[in-house]
Structure 1
Amino acid sequence: MTRQFKTITLSAVLVLVGGVASTGAWSSNAGRTTYMTFSETVALPGVNLAAGTYIFEIANPNSGSNVVRVSSRDHSKVYLQAFTNSIQRPEGLAPDRVITIGEASRGAAPPIRAWFPAGDSSGHEFLYRH
């Protein structure tokens, strides 16, 4: 496991603890919205997210939609709004771990593979073109 991968994963988990704890105060859809802070650049399909805080949320939480929206902390910019595949949380994945990150080639931002809203047994797999 590379040092960069460990750093991003640890940072995401540490920030998530604070983000999830305060999500209820910031959103009416507490279980369907996650504030994530990254210490380094990460990738989503078609876009890189620089270090910073982002909101991951279901675009229409009152539907069965698998459309995920990722926006800036203040909702002023949408970085991604895309269909995702519904997937089950992998066995052994810690309950407080809400994202999985894939490997990247040298110099490229590691891709976020899936997002698991806090408390959900299923998540959203991002679709990358290869």
Structure 2
Amino acid sequence: MIKKLWLPSLILAGLACAPVAKADEWDKRTIVTFNQPVEIPGRVLAPGTYVMQLLDSASNRDIVQIFNQDQTQLYATILAIPDYRLEPTGKTVITLEERSAGSPEALKTWFYPGDLSGAEFTYPASTHPRHTQHWHTQS
């Protein structure tokens, strides 16, 4: 009897010790707060807190979704361009670009903590930015 229970007990112990992947690591869920209006492709976000994450797709990891803070309203689904950096950081890095006078800054890049690859957001040629600012946020 003890021999019959040994293998199932070992399997259950192994499953209990298996690493658990965080959902945040798969979808890169990031909470960001903007203290001023920010342009994203297709619209301008009011100052506030937002959730940015990758669409749950194994085939395309460049689709970014932006939700309100409690994720009850989807503001945008954006096809981003892969972007790369030489050194990862331990914090989320958001890059904003300055627009013409009177226009809100535009979201340019987003890098998840520890990643070398991130997302670059594109805009029509008529709205190309002039200056870039880097923001580090807590995740």
- TM-score, normalised to structure 1, is 0.70
Corresponding position of 1:30: 24
Deviation at 1:127, TM superposition (A): 1.8
User: What is the distance in 2 between the residues matched to 1:118 and 1:97?
Assistant: 5
User: What is the distance in 1 between the residues matched to 2:29 and 2:57?
Assistant: 9
Q: Is 1:120 aligned with 2:95?
A: no
- TM-score, normalised to structure 2, is 0.66
> For 2:48, which of 48, 52, 57 is the aligned residue?
52
Q: Which of structure 1's runs of 4+ aligned residues deviate more than 6 A? A: none
User: What is the distance in 1 between the residues matched to 2:40 and 2:32?
Assistant: 13
User: What is the distance in 2 between the residues matched to 1:113 and 1:60?
Assistant: 22
Query: Looking at CA atoms only, which structure, 1 or 2, has the larger radius of gyration?
Result: 2
Deviation at 1:73, TM superposition (A): 0.7
Contact 2:63 2:79 in 1 (8 A): yes
Q: Is 1:101 aligned with 2:96?
A: yes
- Structure showing greater relative contact order (alpha-carbon pairs closer than 8 Å, 6 or more residues apart): 1
Corresponding position of 1:20: none
Percent identity, aligned pairs only, is 30
Q: Which amino acid letter does the alignment assign opposite residue 30 of structure 1?
A: D
Any gaps of 5 or more consecutive residues in structure 1? 1-27
